[in-house]
Chains A and B, each alone.
Chain A
Amino acid sequence: MTAVALDVKAQGRRPLLGQRRRAESRVGWLLVTPLLCGLILFLIAPCLAVLVMAFTDWQLGAGHINFTGLTNFADLAGDNVVRISARNTVVYALMVAPLSVAIGVWLAVLIERSPIGRAFFRSIFFLPVVSTTVAMAIVWEFLLHPAIGPLNTAIALLGLPPQGFLNNANTVLATLAAIGVWENAGYNMVLVMAGLKTIPRDLYDAAAVDGADRPYERFWTVTLPMLGPTLVFVVIVSFLRSFRVFETVAAITQGGPRRASEVVLFTIYQEGFVFFRVGYASALTVVFVLVLLAITLIKFRLLDRSVHYG
């Protein structure tokens, strides 16, 4: 009965509906087109161009352009600077990502349980995220200055010799990593706090009934396991951010001393925009972006999954 009624109604509306569909389609394309044009110009075309240029010997300003096949990629594999740069970037990320996530979790859990000052502490730890990285890099450079930096003044008061943290090839990468941790811990803390909110209170009560009511017991039996998916997500985001380290290197060390802080983005910047070896820099970009892409795809997989279960 209702089916018939619906059918009649639908039949009566069909011509109108068709018209509205067409109108809707027109409006839809009208609304989408400006952005789509922008994407073709500034996303699709450049992506294709970088792929093509990676197989050429093109230099900006040079009249000629030759397809050189895989030569650029072969050169990359044999390029000492690129090898050092890749290794430095990985070492940097391996220091920054785990440490900044661990500290982020620690801060988030402490703040979440704190009876007072939650918003206060959260804002303080987030402050480095908001601050201009270049500005803070300059401040850090001054703080760590071998002769007049306050940190070295303090070290001298303890009777120890002054350290050239950023001028020493053995310590420069670790020092930049420390600055990276300082900058990223608050960011990870905020992401973890969002994850903590989703943990049901009853779980802690249940754990307490089972005898786990000391803070560290609660952390290992409830918080950490329940935080699992969030944590993997935060770790991946941290790695993506650390692989793209550029500001501190460009502002303070320029890759030195003796290439000890040369990182991939800085190498790309120099090859492409300082030496204008566009073909070669494109090849390096393609490899770098493919690595980032692989990690990003894992991240989206996880996001998808957490949506389904959530």
Chain B
Amino acid sequence: MIRRLARELPRLIALSLAALIVLAPFAYMVAFSVKSSSEIFSGSLSLLPAGLDGFGNYARVLAERPILRYLLNGAIVCAGILLFQLIFAIPCAYALAKLRFRGREFVLGVVLFGLLIPIQATSLPIYVGLAYTRLIDTYAALIVPFASSVFAVFMFRQFFRTIPNDLIDSARLDGCDEFSVITRIVLPLTMPAATAFGIFSVVSHWNDLFWPLIAIRSPELNTPPIGLLAFRSAEAGDRYGELMAGTAIITAPLVLAFLFAQRRFIEGISLGALKG
């Protein structure tokens, strides 16, 4: 046992060193979020604060900047996007996987084509269209462009294909119409796939900068990343303690959620590799 452990020791040391490097930014973010300005500007390396003054950073940041508003906006936008994505994609994916109808191959073709197109390709015309319909700078501008997700269709279709046809046929024989087949048989089986997709969707839109930077101007609509950027430029680099506190607050929700459901997060986010 001891010999085995001795043999494994180099591997554990290597992993631990790598872990320290990966964690360093998080550790310093938290450490400096509770340091006073004077301590930070004296060039400190310690992970522990010299005094208790810095703990006020969190209170000051929450009082001066609408951080909670940013978080709320992030939640509204992510929930809106996910809700629409599921409502649109699940029926479509079910039809593509389990129903035979003329034009199915065509719809499938459009979906596969959509998988190839990154958001950056369509962002200019979508921006112009939203500007002309005066929808720019609203929650709708943040949500609607992502409502019909080909990736969700693709993923749910793959999943529905694994549900045996016999199960669906016997439900139909029992007198279920297509609607109850979906709500009673298919949806309950879909929960794990929907969770994985939901995590993927929420994480990517919570963290997204490109589209919100384009779609909104009003500070009240700031999503967490944009709010953080606004905060950073407003402080022009002299209140690093507060800045780190704000950063920690913005980072916390996803990181905590991840720590609670690590396996599901890893499953969900690595799904994105299919999309690229």
B273 contact set on A, CB distance < 8 A? 187, 191, 233-234, 237
Say which one of B50-58, B114-122, B187-195 lies at the interface with A.
Answer: B114-122
Residue of B nearest to A268 (CB): B120
* Contact call B269/A187, Cβ cutoff below 8 A: yes
Question: Which stretch (A88-96, A169-177, A201-209, A281-289) binds chain B?
Answer: A281-289
Among B26, B29, B95, B240, point to the contact of A32 (Cβ < 8 A).
Answer: B95
Task: Give the shortest distance, in Å, between A254 (CB) and chain B (any CB).
Answer: 10
Residues of A125-149 contacting chain B, CB below 8 A: 125-136, 138-140, 142-143, 147-148
Tell me the bound Cα distance from A62 to B226 in angstroms. 29
- Contact status A107-B18, CB under 8 Å: yes
Residue of B whose beta carbon sits closest to that of A42:
B145
Once the chains bind, are B116 and A293 in contact (CB under 8 Å)? Answer: yes
Min Cβ gap B133→A in Å is: 11
CB <8 Å contact, B207 and A134: yes
Instruction: Note all chain B residues with C-beta closer than 8 A to A45.
Output: 125
Contact pattern, B 213-250, Cβ under 8 Å of A = 1, otherwise 0: 11000000000110011001000000010011001001
On whether the beta carbons of B270 and A190 are closer than 8 Å, the reply is yes
Asked if A130 and B99 sit within 8 Å, CB to CB, the answer is no
Q: Please give me the residue from chain A that is nearest to B43 by CB atom.
A: A153
Evaluate contact between A110 and B15: CB separation under 8 angstroms: yes
Contact status of A110 and B11, CB under 8 A, knowing A130-B203, A138-B232: yes
Interface string of A40-78 (1 = CB under 8 A from B): 001111110110010000001000000000000000000
* Secondary structure dominating the interface of B: helix
Asked whether any CB of chain B lies closer than 8 Å to the CB of A1, the reply is no
Kindly list chain A residues whose C-beta atoms are within 8 Å of the C-beta of B111. 39
8 A Cβ contacts from A13-41 to B: 21, 24-29, 31-32, 34-39
Produce 1/0 per residue, B120-134, CB < 8 A to A: 111111111101000
Q: Is A259 located at the chain interface by the 8 A CB criterion?
A: no
Report yes or no: B270 in contact with A60, Cβ–Cβ below 8 A.
Answer: no
Report the contact-size class of chain B (Cβ under 8 Å from the partner).
35 or more
- CB-based contact B117/A289 at 8 Å: yes
- Complex Cα distance A130/B273, Å? 14
Q: Does B94 lie at the interface of the complex (its beta carbon under 8 Å from any beta carbon of A)?
A: yes
Residues of A within 8 A of B (CB): 21, 24-29, 31-32, 34-39, 42-47, 49-50, 53, 60, 107, 110-111, 113-117, 119, 121-136, 138-140, 142-143, 147-148, 150, 153-154, 156-157, 182, 185-187, 190-191, 194, 233-234, 236-237, 240-241, 244, 246-247, 250-251, 265, 268-269, 272-273, 278, 281-282, 285, 288-289, 292-293, 296-297, 299-300, 303
Sorted nearest first, the 7 A-B pairs with minimum C-beta distance are A38-B148, A28-B101, A46-B122, A49-B125, A46-B125, A134-B225, A31-B91
